[in-house]
Amino acid sequence: MKIISYNVNGIRAALNKGFIEWLKSANPDVICLQEIKATKEQLDVSLFEEAGYNYHYWFSAQKKGYSGVAVLCKSKPDYIEYGTGIESMDFEGRNLRVDFGDISVMSMYLPSGTNDARLTFKFNYMDEIKDYLTALRAKRPNLVVCGDYNICHEEIDIHNPKMRGVSGFLPEERQWLGEFIDSGFIDSFRYLHPELQQYSWWSYRANARANNKGWRLDYAMASEPLKDKIKRALILTEAVHSDHCPILLEIEN
């Protein structure tokens, strides 16, 4: 199973930058999108269907033009779960899960901490989603949670490790991500590439992408029972439809 995760920073903008042609070339079985900033009704879904993704699921934020996640699939899932049932998270459209047999794949968009209020919201979300996923793994042990976590875990994951006072690299955020992994997840990219320094997000300012001054914010976290089934984990830096780039996880199904 070839899974791609991509924060598109607006699916309509990405479509205007050649997203469909790239999707056909990348050819994943499942693609998880974050920050779609649109509703299904605002999109020409035939574009995705013509690319081979007849099964597509959209979970948008209540606020127009904001947040939202989606999952596009080549095969029909056995089950789709919109959100988590936790209202404090679900109104912003941040979680969508599809199940194929005994494997579950979730698209997750963890909040950013752009100001004090949003940082408080982020920490609350982090606590709630960790508890939610711990309970979910008891029922669905073969779980992939991929998406934009808005956190760099280690110094190797950020171009400037001195940015410890900035949300995304705060000690508390990094500790939470470490504990999240220790609770039973594998950072698939770091598992296969322990010393490779690559990023998945670059600021639009100061020519950051051209200078490769980036952050690794996007992860394909696989639960421990899938460890021996992880075949490939890549960051697809050549895709340029967003300020993020996609990440890929291939698991033996």
Which positions are annotated as active-site residues? 148
Beta bridge mates, 57:
71
CA distance 87 to 35: 18
> Contact at 8 Å (CB) between 11 and 65?
no
Cα 107 from Cα 146, distance rounded (Å): 5
Tokens read off for 183: 């609770």
Residue 108 is classified by DSSP as: E
Torsion of CA 181, 182, 185, 190, to 10 degrees: 60
Q: Quote the distance between the C-alpha of residue 197 and its chain's center.
A: 19
- Check: CB of residue 88 under 8 Å from CB of residue 71: no
For 172-207, give one letter per residue: b (16+ CB within 10 A) or e.
ebbebbeebbeebbbbbbbeeeeeeebbbbbeeeee
Tokens of 144: 């992939």
Q: Residue 129 is which amino acid?
A: I
d(CA 121, CA 51): 37
Query: Can you tell me the distance from the alpha carbon of 3 to that of 137, in angstroms, rounded to the nearest whole number?
Result: 19
β-bridge partners, 5: 32, 247
